[in-house]
Amino acid sequence: MLSIIGLLTIAIIVGLLISNKMTPIVALVLVPIVAAFVAGFGFAEIGEFFNSGIESVMSVVIMFIFAILFFGIMQDVGLFDPLINKMIAVSRGNVIAVAVGTVLIAAVAQLDGSGASTFLITIPALLPLYKRLKMNPYLLLLLVGTSASIMNMLPWAGPLGRTAAVLGMDVTELWRPLIKVQVIGLVLLVGLAILLAIREKRLIAKRGDFNKELYEEANPPVAGANDEATLKQAALRRPKLLWVNTLLALIIIGILVWGIVPAGFAFMIGVSIALPLNYPNMKDQMERIKDHAPNALLMAAIILAAGSFLGILNGTLMLDSLAKDLVTILPAFVIPYIHLVIGFFGVPFDLLLSTDAYYFALLPIVEQVASTAGVSSLSTAYAMIIGNIIGTFVSPFSPALWLALGLAGLEMGRHIRYSLLIMWAFSIVLLLISVLIGVI
């Protein structure tokens, strides 16, 4: 019964997010509460589940609010303008070059194993370029998310750590066979980026907003320079402080990667330095905060709602029950191939299960069932990792994805519609290659 209620809850929420029938906050808060009541839990227990869920995302919320403020200020002062103009100059506005560059930049940014920091580094820097070139911002999210997912097979990232804990083995030993899978995955993703960029270029031309002048020059169009918004934007620029702001941004990102202090604290410090550095007048400082606060607070509210959603589904044990029952209903002839079947459907599973439920609840069961047919524990683990990990950043269970959506001003439902099938197909191809090269 818990499995059925959990499955219906997730299906309803995903359906609402995809259809845009309801705001994420309403869907993520009300649907799980109703499900918990139906499952027989009372107000007191649901309150405890809520507290647990909120605690799990609170650090992300704090980081999100101050990261939005920090990168918003950096955009105001024009920190990313030289990078954007240089990329346009080097690529001459080549959509394909920008897409390939996105994959490589995201791969480097994900070396610290944190999806949140990857989005924080890549989205604010690349989104203005995508907008200027009239490229679909959902393509940016798709490429960054897929590249980060491939790099997320690192031993200090979450999935391998969870898997090593389940199998009781050294995480570095678990990772070594996956290095070639990561290399192949990045090469394939570069190829996919080229194909998607060719399609994007055709769509831009078809829409009729393909800015040829922009593609021939390194600077943005002059048209509309007298526009009030443009003049206001120009007034916020601080070109004389470019190198100081660059140093500040690099220090904050370095602290973020180093992990010496919590990410939220690092961005809080960054905001506290950036405001008086660029805008000595207190009135100007408050204007900058007011300008960027709505986006930060809106997405912070959504992340808190997602925390409530996760807390209730975990606390009621719906996710654990769902993971167990998904395996037990499979027919007997599937048992020798169960790890491949689960891996094949790994990306859709990301829409049904949290990362913890997938690795701590589903993996042990699949490993036990597959071992009865002579399948090694490592093969089972690799099939489930490779099949699932590509879908990490297309799932509403990922707090980092909500962060990315907030940074880019995008919607979860539209992201799922745009990216899910592409990511799933990419995951299946990578899974098949892993079988052919003997990793699985």
Q: Note the pLDDT tens digit of each residue in 309-335.
A: 888 988 998 877 876 776 677 677 787
pLDDT, residue 216, reads: 43
pLDDT, residue 340, reads: 92
* Mean pLDDT in residue range 169-195: 91
Domain assignment present for 160: yes
Predicted confidence (pLDDT) at residue 240 exceeds the cutoff of 70: yes
- Cα 395 to chain centroid distance, Å, stands at 8
* Mean pLDDT in residue range 217-245: 66
pLDDT band at 270 (very low <50, low <70, confident <90, very high): very high
Domain assignment present for 418: no
pLDDT, residue 149, reads: 93
Question: Which of 228-232, 259-263, 405-409 has the largest mean confidence?
Answer: 405-409
pLDDT, residue 225, reads: 42
- pLDDT by residue (tens digit) across 122-148? 888 888 888 888 899 999 999 999 999
Domain assignment present for 213: yes
pLDDT, residue 208, reads: 66
pLDDT, residue 246, reads: 92
Predicted confidence (pLDDT) at residue 196 exceeds the cutoff of 80: yes
Averaged pLDDT of the chain: 83
pLDDT, residue 213, reads: 45
* Mean pLDDT in residue range 415-437: 94
Q: Select from 132, 120, 350, 154 the least CA-distant residue to 249.
A: 120
Domain assignment present for 174: yes
pLDDT, residue 91, reads: 64
- pLDDT by residue (tens digit) across 23-49? 888 988 999 999 999 999 999 999 999
Cβ-Cβ contacts under 8 Å for 34 (sequence gap 6 or more): none
pLDDT, residue 62, reads: 85
* Mean pLDDT in residue range 151-167: 80
Domain assignment present for 22: no
pLDDT, residue 88, reads: 59
pLDDT, residue 224, reads: 44
Domain assignment present for 380: no
pLDDT, residue 327, reads: 66
Number of domains in the chain: 1
pLDDT, residue 94, reads: 86
Predicted confidence (pLDDT) at residue 247 exceeds the cutoff of 80: yes
Q: Residue holding tokens 């048209």? A: 223
Q: What is the dihedral of CA 418, 424, 426, 432, to 10 degrees?
A: -170
pLDDT band at 424 (very low <50, low <70, confident <90, very high): very high
- Which range marks the domain in which residue 148 is found? 60-302
pLDDT, residue 219, reads: 41
Domain assignment present for 326: no
DSSP 161-196: HHHHHHHTS-HHHHHGGGHHHHHHHHHHHHHHHHHH
Between 269 and 237, name the one with better pLDDT. 269
pLDDT, residue 228, reads: 62
pLDDT band at 20 (very low <50, low <70, confident <90, very high): low
Domain assignment present for 411: no
3-state SS track over 6-65: HHHHHHHHHHHHHHCCCCHHHHHHHHHHHHHHHCCCCHHHHHHHHHHHHHHHHHHHHHHH
Question: Which of 55-64, 89-98, 109-118, 260-269 has the largest mean confidence?
Answer: 260-269
Sign, Cα dihedral of 93, 209, 188, 104: positive
Q: Is 178 exposed, middle or buried (0-12, 13-18, 19+ CB in 10 A)?
A: buried
Residue 95 · residue 190 · CB < 8 Å: no
- pLDDT by residue (tens digit) across 73-127? 888 888 877 876 676 567 666 889 989 989 988 887 787 667 777 888 788 888 8
Question: What Cα–Cα distance (Å) separates residue 312 from each residue in 306, 319, 333, 401, 423?
Answer: 10, 10, 35, 20, 28
